[in-house]
Amino acid sequence: MKSFHIEKPKDEIRPYLQEKIDNLTKPKGSLGMLEDLAMQIGWIQRTLEPKLTNPCHIVFAGDHGIAAEGVSPSPQEVTYQMIANFWAGGAGINFLARQHHFDLKIVDAGVNFDFKAEDPIINKKIRKSTRNYLHEAAMTQEEMELAIERGAECAQACFDEGCNVISFGEMGITNTSSSALWMTYLTGIPLDKCIGAGCDHTGNIISHKYNVLKQSMENYKGDGSVTDIMAYFGGYEMVMTVGAMLKAAELRMIILIDGFIMTNCILMASKLNPEVLNYCIFGHQGDEAGHKLLLDYLKAKPILNLGLRLGEGTGALCAYPIIESSVRMINEMNSFKKIQVTKYF
CATH code: domain of residue 286: 3.40.50.10210
Confidence at 200, pLDDT banded by 50, 70, 90: low
The predicted structure's pLDDT at residue 344:
59
R_g of the chain, CA atoms, integer Å: 20
Q: Which residues of 240-257 are buried (b: 16+ CB within 10 A; e: fewer)?
A: bbbbbbbbbbbbbbbbbb
Q: Is residue 159 domain-resident?
A: yes
The predicted structure's pLDDT at residue 283:
96
- Mean pLDDT within 174-186: 96
Convert the pLDDT of each residue in 118-142 to its tens digit. Answer: 999 999 999 999 999 999 999 999 9
- Mean pLDDT within 187-207: 78
Strands 56-62 and 165-171, by their bridges, are parallel
Residue 123 CB-density burial (10 A; 0-12 exposed, 13-18 middle, 19+ buried): exposed
3-class DSSP state for residue 304?
Answer: strand
CB atoms within 10 A of CB 98: 11
First-residue to last-residue Cα distance in the chain: 53
Tell me phi and psi for residue 130, to 5 degrees: -70, 170
Convert the pLDDT of each residue in 68-105 to its tens digit. Answer: 999 988 889 999 999 999 999 999 999 999 999 999 99
3-class DSSP state for residue 94?
Answer: helix
Q: Is residue 2 domain-resident?
A: no
Q: Is residue 345 domain-resident?
A: no
Q: How far apart are CA 70 and CA 87, in angstroms?
A: 28
Q: Is residue 29 domain-resident?
A: no
- Mean pLDDT within 272-284: 98
165 - beta bridge partners? 254
The residue type of 42 is: G
Q: How far apart are CA 28 and CA 18, in angstroms?
A: 10
Q: How far apart are CA 163 and CA 157, in angstroms?
A: 9
Instruction: Report the run of H or E that residue 165 belongs to, with start and end.
Output: strand 165-171
pLDDT greater than 60 at residue 199: no
Q: Which residue, 254, 47, 275, 297, is CA-closest to 167?
A: 254
- What pTM, to 2 d.p., does this model score? 0.95
110 - beta bridge partners? 62
Q: Is residue 297 domain-resident?
A: yes
Q: How far apart are CA 14 and CA 29, in angstroms?
A: 15
Q: Is residue 334 domain-resident?
A: no
Confidence at 254, pLDDT banded by 50, 70, 90: very high
- Tally of domains within the chain: 1
The predicted structure's pLDDT at residue 71:
92
The predicted structure's pLDDT at residue 173:
94
Residue 24 DSSP label: B
Q: How far apart are CA 327 and CA 281, in angstroms?
A: 13
Q: Is residue 138 domain-resident?
A: yes
Are 12 and 329 a contacting pair, CB within 8 Å?
Answer: no
Q: Which residue, 58, 15, 13, is CA-closest to 245?
A: 58
3-class DSSP state for residue 169?
Answer: strand
Distances from the Cα of 124 to the Cαs of 79, 104, 106, 183, 237, in angstroms?
A: 16, 16, 10, 26, 10
CA 190: distance to chain centroid?
Answer: 22
The predicted structure's pLDDT at residue 45:
98
Task: Please provide the average confidence, as pLDDT, over all residues in the chain.
Answer: 94
User: Higher model confidence: residue 69 or residue 201?
Assistant: 69
| Residues identified as active-site | 312
Q: Is residue 315 domain-resident?
A: yes
Domain around 283: 56-327
Are 166 and 251 a contacting pair, CB within 8 Å?
Answer: no
Q: How far apart are CA 182 and CA 194, in angstroms?
A: 9
- Mean pLDDT within 180-192: 97
CB atoms within 10 A of CB 5: 9
* Cα angle 256-141-255, degrees, rounded to a multiple of 5: 5
Q: How far apart are CA 198 and CA 178, in angstroms?
A: 11
Convert the pLDDT of each residue in 26-49 to its tens digit. Answer: 989 999 999 999 999 999 999 999
